[in-house]
Amino acid sequence: MDEKSSSTIDDIFDRYLDAETSIFKNREVLSPHYVPDILPHRDDKFEELAKILAPALRGGAPSNIFIYGTTGTGKTAVTKQVLAKLKERAESRKLAFKYSYMNCQHVDTKYRVLTQLCDDIGIDVPFTGLHFDVIYQKFRDALDDLDTLHVTVLDEVDMLYRKSTESLYVLTRMNSDLKDSKISIIGITNDVNFKETLDPRIRSSLSEEEIVFSPYTAEQLNDILTQRANVAFQKGILEFGVINLCAAVGAQQHGDARRSLDLLRVASELAERNSDETVTEIHVRKAQQVIERNTVIEVLSSLPIQTKAVLQSIFIGEGRSEEITTGDVCEIYSKICKLVKLDKLTDRRVGDLINELDMLGIVTAQVISKGRYGRSKRIHLTVPHKQVREVLENDFRLSKIFDMDEI
Ligand SMILES: Nc1ncnc2c1ncn2[C@@H]1O[C@H](COP(=O)(O)OP(=O)(O)OP(=O)(O)O)[C@@H](O)[C@H]1O
Ligand SMILES: [Mg+2]
């Protein structure tokens, strides 16, 4: 490194350190992992949950609880805090109490659920090789020996149900298999239609009690943001209107506190990076673009290869003609499959994948009549082309298509 670039880097670090003192007092409280001890506007939910769980403090078994509400409404934060408090109280009363928290996005098979449960009560099971029934019996016997109440929190329970209906069935019925211990299940989801899709037998036992987390209003989000901002920023850093704007955007996004907090964090980071002295509404607007861009890219990047190939076909088709139909997409798709040696799906299946892209809000697919040739769909990309291209170019299998003349 020469002297000049070394001093440039020093400059950047100096500016960063100066900015740190001028904008943030405590940036940690804006991090996505930080949860404050006090959660404004959720007292009623704390109470509802605590009342249902309270029998645990007299050695009883609380009902199973089903918690639902849109994303970012505090379901996970409230549940974890109530359980931590309950554990504290149970311990001080020398009551046997255990709880497991699992996020079913990761713990999504019956084996994973049971090995985590075993792990949480301190029994070792090999991760593979044992039959499910054997692990189940091991857990059941060990739990019974502990003569305890066990609360199992299944967060994002819809993910588990989708992959393994059986594990939910087994868990909600487990009490009839236990003699000395009891188990209570708390299922949490942000999929508001999930309950309707549940097998009626599971639904009735999982939702013995229900708690609904309603979306936050703009005023409530305002309070949530103000609480964090008071700790996070030096005085006078936030321009008038910044908090209101972050709250308004969160309120539009189904009352999502996470979205509002993200906006405030990203906006202030943009101000800091720019060495600006205050955070303004302009920073918030820019932050909004950054966040939206990131979520689109995240969704597109995680699509399976076949869906990406269909997306690429739509992308290429749209570059050539104002209006493209399912037939056009299938034609380009079939060329792509040949060029990159991908198994070609039937036209019908490609139609299904187009519908999936429609459901994800990536394309619109409108039915049009083609007279005596039957019906087709007019397809239109609804996300920025630049981002679609960026994601496809990052896929090593599909990126080469852009350089091929044959397509
Ligand atoms: N009342 C509140 N006061 C302060 N912060 C809150 C409040 N509610 C939620 N938050 C914050 O918003 C973020 C999202 O909350 P949480 O993870 O509990 O939402 P969720 O309902 O579980 O969402 P999802 O359905 O996406 O899992 C967290 O960072 C949390 O700290
Ligand atoms: Mg959650």
Q: What is the CATH number of the domain that holds 56?
A: 3.40.50.300
Ligand nearest to the CA of 222: 1
Which amino acids bring their CB within 6 angstroms of ligand 1?
32, 35-36, 39-42, 71-77, 190, 224, 257-258, 261
Q: Is 156 helix (H, G, I), strand (E, B) or coil?
A: coil
Question: Which ligand 1 atom sits closest to the C-alpha of 73?
Answer: 21
Q: Is 1 helix (H, G, I), strand (E, B) or coil?
A: coil
Question: Which ligand 1 atom sits closest to the C-alpha of 74?
Answer: 18
CA separation for the pair 189, 193 (Å, rounded)? 10
- CATH number of the domain residue 387 falls in: 1.10.10.10
Amino acid 132: pLDDT: 87
Question: Where does the pLDDT of residue 10 fall: very low under 50, low under 70, confident under 90, or very high at 90 and above?
Answer: confident
Same domain, 285 and 354: no
Question: Where does the pLDDT of residue 103 fall: very low under 50, low under 70, confident under 90, or very high at 90 and above?
Answer: very high
In angstroms, the Cα distances linking 49 to 34, 81, 99, 183, 189 are 22, 10, 15, 16, 15
Same domain, 112 and 208: yes
Same domain, 182 and 205: yes
CA separation for the pair 73, 239 (Å, rounded)? 26
The overall average pLDDT reported for the chain is: 91
Question: Where does the pLDDT of residue 126 fall: very low under 50, low under 70, confident under 90, or very high at 90 and above?
Answer: confident
Pocket test for ligand 1, best of 28, 30, 35, 220 (most atoms within 8 A of CB): 35
Same domain, 265 and 310: no
Distance from the CA of 59 to the center of ligand 2, in angstroms?
28
Same domain, 227 and 316: no
Same domain, 188 and 79: yes
Distance from the CA of 30 to the center of ligand 1, in angstroms?
12
Amino acid 109: pLDDT: 87
Question: Has residue 267 got a pLDDT over 90?
Answer: yes
Domain that holds residue 222: 3-35+216-298
Distance from the CA of 235 to the center of ligand 2, in angstroms?
32
Amino acid 19: pLDDT: 52
Question: Which ligand 1 atom sits closest to the C-alpha of 35?
Answer: 31
Pocket test for ligand 1, best of 45, 258, 263 (most atoms within 8 A of CB): 258
Please name which of 63, 314, 101, 349 lies closest in space to residue 206, comparing C-alpha atoms: 63
Distance from the CA of 16 to the center of ligand 2, in angstroms?
33
Same domain, 60 and 145: yes
The string of pLDDT tens digits covering residues 128-159 is 778 889 999 999 999 999 999 999 999 999 98
Domain boundary among 212, 233, 249: 212
Same domain, 276 and 247: yes
Nearest CA to ligand 1 atom 3: 39
Domain boundary among 212, 235, 258: 212
Query: What's the whole-number mean pLDDT along residues 117-134?
Result: 86
Same domain, 358 and 322: yes
Question: Which ligand 1 atom sits closest to the C-alpha of 40?
Answer: 1
Same domain, 113 and 225: no
Same domain, 264 and 292: yes
Q: Which two tokens stand for residue 225?
A: 């943001």
- CATH number of the domain residue 238 falls in: 1.10.8.60
The string of pLDDT tens digits covering residues 24-55 is 999 999 998 899 999 999 999 999 999 999 99
Distance from the CA of 149 to the center of ligand 1, in angstroms?
27
The string of pLDDT tens digits covering residues 306-321 is 999 999 999 999 998 8
User: Are 256 and 250 spatial neighbours (Cβ–Cβ below 8 Å)?
Assistant: yes
CA separation for the pair 54, 31 (Å, rounded)? 32
Domain boundary among 298, 315, 331: 298
- For residues 74 and 375, which has the higher predicted lDDT (pLDDT)? 74
Pocket test for ligand 1, best of 30, 73, 104, 256 (most atoms within 8 A of CB): 73
Q: Which two tokens stand for residue 38?
A: 């006090």
The string of pLDDT tens digits covering residues 168-227 is 999 999 999 999 999 999 999 998 889 888 999 999 999 999 999 999 999 999 999 999
Distance from the CA of 127 to the center of ligand 2, in angstroms?
26
Q: Tokens 């087994």 belong to which residue? A: 170
Amino acid 322: pLDDT: 83
Number of independent structural domains in the chain: 3
Same domain, 129 and 242: no
Amino acid 204: pLDDT: 92
Q: 3: part of which helix (H) or strand (E)? A: helix 3-23
Q: Tokens 């896929």 belong to which residue? A: 395
Question: Where does the pLDDT of residue 68 fall: very low under 50, low under 70, confident under 90, or very high at 90 and above?
Answer: very high
Distance from the CA of 13 to the center of ligand 1, in angstroms?
33
CA separation for the pair 237, 241 (Å, rounded)? 12
Distance from the CA of 256 to the center of ligand 1, in angstroms?
8
